[in-house]
Chain A
């Protein structure tokens, strides 16, 4: 059902069919919601499916009239029916709850205005404010309008991560729990099941197993904190998006994922996301209440991150190999696995020098 914020409003949409998808149907469901939320006389306008979003539909729309002029976003399970992109992905209702907790902790996130459950006209979905800014990594790293943002983004990311990691976990909905070694075991099992031996992956797996760091106290981990999921405007970070892979785990995982070279979009000399230096992020993280880490503390996790992304590319290629998705795009991604192999080789050279 569609509720107002976190309240348990009565269902006010007739249950029509579980799977709906046409623009007209979604507009009519949003119109009914907007009328309750903003009062009679408002209109839903300009509903448009946004590109991107592999597993969740993202729609932009506006509400106008009756003194309102709001730009909003609908995040919705495909066809309104839950179809998580992987076994550990959380549902949209949990994602909406996490956004509320993050907002309370001072993390820049879009305010959630409504949540809809399975079986309603919208299906599993939530509605949030549309924050202006850019998410495309290549533009953020290249365009002149983000020059100042790039200077402050490392510190802003450090602060945002410290705040996410400070959220008390006992008040959260139930989330998956995974530490570094359990993730390594999971991805190793997936890789072995493909029976496509890759010696670089073997060496990375062996080194990671032999050199696992002492675990840190567990925190709420965003799980996909990187360019692409960060909304950036001229003044810097305006919103942390896509909480679908949130879990309970090690804080270094989030810091390192932002450093994985696959997300530096060609700017390999800047370890943090292609825009910044890691000591700046780590200083801001500690000053905002996070633990004090050194760049070397992040190495193990960055190598795990590159390995995970390489195996995720193999998973996408497997969709082609199995015949599930015979598109040229799924075939081509199999030839991007070697990007993570060269990153792993570079990282292994780095740890060998420090050994």
Chain B
């Protein structure tokens, strides 16, 4: 399949249309929703760029943490992790668990809300 324009280029074009053409003509609730829509497209652009690598390292960490089948899907690995935590099999004292969750959540937030204050705190904890 062709990718010219690429997915990212198409999304960027729509975002530019919202920001430069549509939003300035809107008022009130519609203007607010246009801003939200533009922010959502920014999220999509970050996701296109970051999700493949973030998911592959998340999967590698989960396979090791759970001693799981390397062929398992990411969603089934996360489901297993949830079950182990819920059953009490893994908890805050489990080696590597909180570190894995922190790395995964930092990656998620870098896509979802890269300016959120809690992300800066996670990356640069107070001395």
Does any Cβ of B come within 8 Å of A93's Cβ? no
Does any Cβ of B come within 8 Å of A67's Cβ? no
Contact mask for chain B residues 101-127; partner A; CB cutoff 8 A; 1 contact, 0 none: 110111011011101111111100110
Q: A261-B117, A335-B112, A342-B105 are in contact. Are A203 and B40 (CB under 8 A)?
A: no
A197, A266, A329, A345: the one within 8 Å of B122 (CB): A345
> Which A residues are CB-close (under 8 A) to B105?
200, 338, 341-342, 345
> Which A residues are CB-close (under 8 A) to B33?
327-329
Q: A202-B86, A338-B112, A339-B109 are in contact. Are A328 and B117 (CB under 8 A)?
A: no
Contact: B102 with A349, CB < 8 Å?
Answer: yes
Instruction: Choose, from B6-14, B19-27, B90-98, the stretch at the interface.
Output: B90-98
Give the CA-CA distance A269 to B125 in the complex, in Å.
11
B39, B82, B102, B118: the one within 8 Å of A339 (CB): B118
Shortest Cβ distance from residue A114 to the other chain B in the assembled complex, whole angstroms: 30
Scan residues 33-88 of chain B and give those whose CB is less than 8 A from a CB of chain A.
33, 36-37, 39-40, 43, 78-79, 81-82, 85-86, 88
Contact: A351 with B81, CB < 8 Å?
Answer: no
B97, B102, B117: the one within 8 Å of A264 (CB): B117
Q: How many residues of B contact A (CB 8 A)?
A: 39
Residue picked from B98, B104, B105, B126, most chain A C-beta under 10 Å: B105
Does any Cβ of B come within 8 Å of A348's Cβ? yes
Scan residues 199-225 of chain A and give those whose CB is less than 8 A from a CB of chain B.
199-200, 202-203, 205-207, 210
Does any Cβ of B come within 8 Å of A352's Cβ? yes
Contact mask for chain A residues 331-351; partner B; CB cutoff 8 A; 1 contact, 0 none: 110011011011101101101
Shortest Cβ distance from residue B106 to the other chain A in the assembled complex, whole angstroms: 7
Give the CA-CA distance A321 to B92 in the complex, in Å.
32
Q: A199-B81, A200-B101, A328-B37 are in contact. Are A267 and B113 (CB under 8 A)?
A: no
> Which B residues are CB-close (under 8 A) to A207?
91-92
Contact: B119 with A203, CB < 8 Å?
Answer: no
Contact: B85 with A341, CB < 8 Å?
Answer: no
Give the CA-CA distance A205 to B118 in the complex, in Å.
19
The A contact surface, by secondary structure, is: helix
Give the CA-CA distance A197 to B81 in the complex, in Å.
9
> Which A residues are CB-close (under 8 A) to B122?
342, 345-346
Does any Cβ of B come within 8 Å of A184's Cβ? no
A210, A264, A332: the one within 8 Å of B39 (CB): A332
Q: A206-B86, A206-B91, A335-B113 are in contact. Are A341 and B78 (CB under 8 A)?
A: no
Q: A197-B82, A268-B117, A335-B112 are in contact. Are A328 and B92 (CB under 8 A)?
A: no
Does any Cβ of B come within 8 Å of A189's Cβ? no
The residue in chain A whose Cβ has the minimal distance to the Cβ of B120 is A268
The residue in chain A whose Cβ has the minimal distance to the Cβ of B85 is A202
Q: A266-B117, A341-B105, A355-B92 are in contact. Are A336 and B78 (CB under 8 A)?
A: no
A210, A268, A355: the one within 8 Å of B121 (CB): A268
Shortest Cβ distance from residue A213 to the other chain B in the assembled complex, whole angstroms: 17
Give the CA-CA distance A343 to B116 in the complex, in Å.
10
Q: A268-B118, A352-B92 are in contact. Are A332 and B40 (CB under 8 A)?
A: yes
Contact: B119 with A342, CB < 8 Å?
Answer: yes
> Which A residues are CB-close (under 8 A) to B39?
332
> Which B residues are CB-close (under 8 A) to A339?
109, 112-113, 116, 118
Contact: A348 with B92, CB < 8 Å?
Answer: yes
> Which A residues are CB-close (under 8 A) to B86?
202, 205-206
Scan residues 282-330 of chain A and give those whose CB is less than 8 A from a CB of chain B.
327-329
* Sample of 13 further A-B pairs with CB below 8 A, known A206-B86, A206-B88: A203-B101, A268-B120, A328-B33, A328-B40, A329-B33, A332-B40, A341-B105, A341-B108, A342-B109, A342-B121, A345-B102, A345-B105, A349-B98
18 sampled A-B residue pairs with Cβ under 8 A: A202-B81, A202-B86, A206-B91, A268-B120, A329-B33, A331-B40, A335-B111, A335-B112, A335-B113, A339-B112, A341-B108, A345-B98, A345-B101, A346-B118, A348-B92, A349-B125, A355-B92, A355-B93
Could you list which residues of chain B lie within 8 angstroms of chain A, going by C-beta atoms?
Answer: 32-33, 36-37, 39-40, 43, 78-79, 81-82, 85-86, 88, 91-93, 97-98, 101-102, 104-106, 108-109, 111-113, 115-122, 125-126
Could you list which residues of chain A lie within 8 angstroms of chain B, going by C-beta atoms?
Answer: 197-200, 202-203, 205-207, 210, 261, 264, 266-269, 327-329, 331-332, 335-336, 338-339, 341-343, 345-346, 348-349, 351-352, 355
